[in-house]
Structure 1
Amino acid sequence: MVGQGALLSPLGLLLLAPLCLLHPGASGQPHPTKGAPRETSSIQGVRGGSVELDCGSQSAPLVVFWSFTPLGSLIPQPVAIASGGEFKVEASASALGAVSLRNSSLVLWELQEGARGHFLCQALHAASGQLHATYSSLALAVLVPVSKPQVRLSDPSPVEGASLVATCIVREGTEPVTFVWQHQAPRGPAEALMGVTKRLIQLDPVNRTHLGWYTCTAHNAVSQLSSDGAFLDVIYGPDNPVITVEPLGFTEEGFGASEREEVTLSCLAASNPPSLYVWLHDHTQVHAGPTYVIASASRAHTGLYTCLAHNSRLDTHTQTSVQLTIYYPPKAQPSCAVLPAPGALALLCTWPGGLPAAQLQWAGPQGAGPTALSNVTWSYAATHLANGSAFTCTGRHPALALPMLCRITLWEPLWSPTCWTMATIRDQFIMLSCEWPGGEPPAVLSWLDEQEQPLGSSSSSPAVYLLQAQEDLAGREFTCRGTHPLRAPDPLCQLRLEAPQLAVAEPRVSVLEGEEAWLGCTLLGGMPPAQLLWLGPQRRQVEPGTLGFTLHPEGTQLRLNVQGADPVRHGGTYQCVAQNALGNSSRSVLLEVLRYPAPPNVTISRLTYGRRRSEVQLQWTVRGPGNLTGFLVQRRAGVPGLGAGAWETMAGDIEPESRGRRLGGLDLGVLYAFRVLALNHRTAGHPSEVKTPADPPFSAYAAVLGAAGTGMVVATVASLLVFQYAARHPDTFPCLGCLLVPREQSHQDQGSRGGPEATPGTEPSPTTPGSDPAQESTEPPVNVTITVTATP
Structure 2
Amino acid sequence: MWMRCNLENGTGPIQYVWQHETRSGNVTVVAQGSSSVINVTDVNRNHSGWYRCVATNDVNSESSNRLWLDTIFGPDIPRIDVTPYSITERGYSALERETVSLMCQAQSNPASQYVWFYNNSQVYSGPQFTITKILRMHTGDYACLAQNTYLNTRSKKTISLTVYYSPDGSPSCSVEPALNHTALKLLCAWPGGFPSPSLDWTGDLVQAGKTQVDTEQQTNLQSSTAILLPSENLTPNNSLFRCVGSHPALKQSTECSTRTYTPPAEPVCFAYVTNTQQYLMLSCSWDGGAPKALVWWEGPGGQSKGGQENSNILVLRYGTARSGKPYTCYAKHPLLMEAKSCRLTLEAPVLLTQRRVVSVYEGTDVQLTCNLRANYLPANEITWFNNQGMDVQDTSKYMLLRTSAWTNLTVRDADEMQDSGEYRCSTSNAVGGAEINVTLVVKKYPMPPNATLIKAMYNSRKRSEVELEWQVEGVEDSGGWTGFHLEHQWVSERTKRRGSTNKSLLWMGEDGLQDWYRTVIQDPEGRSHTVRGLTPTVTYQFRIIPINHRTIGHPSPTKTPAEPRYNMYPAVIGAAIGGMLFAAILTVLLLMYIIRNRNNNPRIHDMLFGLQHSQSRENINFPEDEMVRGSDGGVEDIGGSSSPGPAISIPRASSLLTTSPLSTTPTPTTSIQAPPTGDDNEPVSVTITVKATGS
1:691 is aligned to 2:559: yes
Q: In structure 2, what is the equivalent of residue 120 of structure 1?
A: none
Matching of residue 662 in structure 1 with residue 530 in structure 2 = yes
- Over 3 Å counting, the alpha-carbon distance change for 1:444 and 1:703 in structure 2 is closer
Distance 2:320 2:313 in 1: 21
Check conservation: 1:531, 1:580, Cα contact below 8 A: no
**SS of equivalent to 2:282:** strand
Q: Structure 1 residues 395 and 590 mapped into 2: Cα distance closer, same or farther (>3 Å)?
A: same
Question: Is the partner of 2:270 in helix, strand or coil?
Answer: strand
Whole-Å separation in 2 of the counterparts to 1:665 and 1:650: 14
Is the CA contact (8 Å cut-off) linking 1:516 and 1:564 kept in structure 2? Answer: yes
Counterpart of 1:406 in structure 2 is 256
Distance (whole Å) between structure 2 residues aligned to residue 415 and residue 602 of structure 1? 75
Query: 1:227-238 alignment to 2 at 5 Å?
Result: none
**Structure 1 residue 421: deviation in Å?**
1.0
Question: Which of 478, 481, 484 is matched with 1:631 structurally?
Answer: 484
| Deviations 1:42-93, CA, capped at 9 Å, x for gaps | xxxxxxxxxxxxxxxxxxxxxxxxxxxxxxxxxxxxxxxxxxxxxxxxxxxx
Give the Cα–Cα distance (whole angstroms) in 2 for the partners of residues 339 and 258 of structure 1: 39
Match of 1:141 in 2: none
Provide, for residues 509-557 of structure 1, a one-character-per-residue CA deviation record: whole Å limited to 9, x for no partner. Answer: 333433443322222243211112322222223322422x322224522
Question: How far, CA to CA, are the matches of 2:351 and 2:195 in structure 1?
Answer: 73
- Deviation, structure 1 residue 646: 6.5
How far residue 698 of structure 1 moved from its aligned partner, in angstroms, is 5.2
Does the Cα contact within 8 Å between 1:365 and 1:389 map onto a contact in 2?
Answer: no
State how far apart, in whole Å, the 2-side matches of 1:705 and 1:350 are. 124
Match of 2:188 among 332, 343, 349: 349
Would you say the 8 A contact 2:381–2:404 is kept in 1?
no
Alignment of 1:7-22 (within 5 A): none
In structure 2, the residue corresponding to 1:399 is in which secondary structure? coil
- Between the aligned partners of 1:611 and 1:682, the Cα distance in structure 2 is 38
2:388 equivalent to 1:532:
no
The correspondence of residues 204-215 of structure 1 with structure 2, limited to 5 A, is: none
Which residue pairs with 1:498 in the alignment? 347
1:567-605 deviations in whole A, cap 9, x for unaligned?
A: 344433322222334443222223333433332210111
Which one of 628, 640, 644 corresponds to residue 507 of structure 2? 640
| Residues 509 and 589 in structure 1, CA contact (< 8 A), matched pair in contact too | yes
- Confirm whether residue 340 of structure 1 aligns to residue 178 of structure 2: yes
User: Residues 586-643 of structure 1: CA distance to partner in whole angstroms, max 9, x if unpaired?
Assistant: 2222333343333221011122345223332222111124413322201233532655
CA distance in 2, matches of 1:594, 1:446: 59
CA distance in structure 1 between the aligned counterparts of 2:548 and 2:132, rounded to whole angstroms: 100
Say if 1:389 and 1:410, in contact at 8 Å, map to a contact too.
yes
Tell me the equivalent position of 1:510. 359
1:668: Cα distance to partner? 4.5
Q: Say which of 357, 362, 365 aligns to 2:206.
A: 365
Structure 2 counterparts to residues 290-309 of structure 1, below 5 A: 298-299=133-134
| Aligned residue among 521, 528, 543 for 2:393 | 543
AA of the residue aligned to 1:353: G
Q: Determine the C-alpha separation between the residues in 1 that align with 2:436 and 2:396.
A: 22
- Measured in 1, the distance between the counterparts of 2:419 and 2:132 equals 87
Q: Compared with structure 1, are the counterparts of its residues 400 and 580 closer, same or farther at alpha carbon in structure 2 (3 Å cutoff)? A: same
**Contact 1:258/1:297 (CA < 8 Å) preserved in 2?**
no
SS at match of 1:527: coil
| Contact residue 334 and residue 404 of structure 1 kept, 8 A | yes
Distance 2:329 2:191 in 1: 40
Aligned to 2:540: 672
Task: Name whichever of 358-367 and 436-445 sits farther off.
Answer: 358-367
- AA at the equivalent of 1:460: E
Pair 1:706–1:356, CA change in 2 (3 A): closer
Distance in 1 between residues matched to 2:244 and 2:331, nearest whole Å? 32
For 1:398 and 1:523, locate their aligned partners in 2 and report how far apart those are by CA, in whole Å.
72
Query: What CA distance in whole angstroms lies between the structure 2 residues aligned with 1:583 and 1:575?
Result: 17
Task: Tell me what 2:634 maps to.
Answer: none
Shift of 1:701: 8.9
Distance verdict in 2 for CA 1:447–1:648, change over 3 Å:
farther
Say if 1:419 and 1:432, in contact at 8 Å, map to a contact too: yes
Q: 1:394 to 1:498 in 2, by over 3 A?
A: same
Q: Is the 8 Å Cα contact of residues 96 and 134 (structure 2) preserved in structure 1? A: no
Contact 1:533 1:576 in 2 (8 A): yes
The residue aligned with 2:441 is: 592
State the partner residue of 1:484. 333
Paired AA for residue 492 in structure 1: S
Matching of residue 429 in structure 1 with residue 264 in structure 2: no
Contact 2:508 2:515 (C-alpha < 8 Å) held by counterparts: no
CA contact (8 A) 1:428 1:581 kept: no
Q: 1:614 aligns with which of 464, 468, 477?
A: 464
C-alpha displacement of 1:411: 1.7
Structure 2 residue identity aligned to 1:501: V
Matches for 1:73-84 after TM superposition, within 5 Å: none
How far 1:663 moved relative to its partner?
0.8
Question: How far apart in 1 are the matches of 2:484 and 2:360?
Answer: 24
Contact 2:177 2:334 in 1 (8 A): no
- CA–CA distance in structure 2, aligned partners of residues 396 and 532 of structure 1: 65
Cα deviation, residue 297, structure 1: 8.8
Q: How does 1:41-190 map to 2 (within 5 A)?
A: none
1:185-334 alignment runs, 5 A limit:
259=97, 298-299=133-134, 328-334=165-171
2:291 to 412, 432, 441: 441
Runs of 5+ consecutive residues of structure 1 not aligned to the other structure: 1-250, 261-295, 301-325, 708-792
**CA deviation map 1:148-171 (0-9, x unaligned):** xxxxxxxxxxxxxxxxxxxxxxxx
- Please state how far the C-alpha of 1:688 moved relative to its aligned partner: 1.0
Equivalent residues in 2 for 1:390-405, closer than 5 Å: 390-405=240-255
SS at match of 1:383: helix
2:311 corresponding residue in structure 1? 462
CA RMSD of aligned residues (A): 3.5
Q: Which runs of 5+ in 2 are unaligned?
A: 1-85, 87-93, 99-130, 136-162, 492-505, 576-695
CA distance in 2, matches of 1:349, 1:684: 89
Contact 2:357 2:438 in 1 (8 A): yes
Instruction: Write the letter of the residue equivalent to 2:486.
Output: V
Contact 1:679 1:685 in 2 (8 A): yes
CA contact (8 A) 2:297 2:327 kept: yes
Distance 2:560 2:206 in 1: 109
Distance 1:399 1:487 in 2: 42
Tell me what 2:73 maps to: none
Question: Deviations along 1:157-187, whole A, 9 cap, x unmatched?
Answer: xxxxxxxxxxxxxxxxxxxxxxxxxxxxxxx
> Match of 2:123?
none
Aligned-residue identity in percent: 34
CA contact (8 A) 1:510 1:592 kept: yes
| Distance (whole Å) between structure 1 residues aligned to residue 389 and residue 537 of structure 2 | 53
Rounded to whole Å, the distance in 1 between the matches of 2:95 and 2:474 is 112
1:709-731 per-residue CA deviation (whole Å, 9 max, x = no partner) reads xxxxxxxxxxxxxxxxxxxxxxx
Counterpart amino acid of 1:411? Y
Separation in 2 of the partners of 1:645 and 1:542? 45
The whole-number CA distance in structure 1 between the counterparts of 2:342 and 2:486 is 72
Identify the residue that residue 416 of structure 1 maps to in structure 2.
Answer: 266
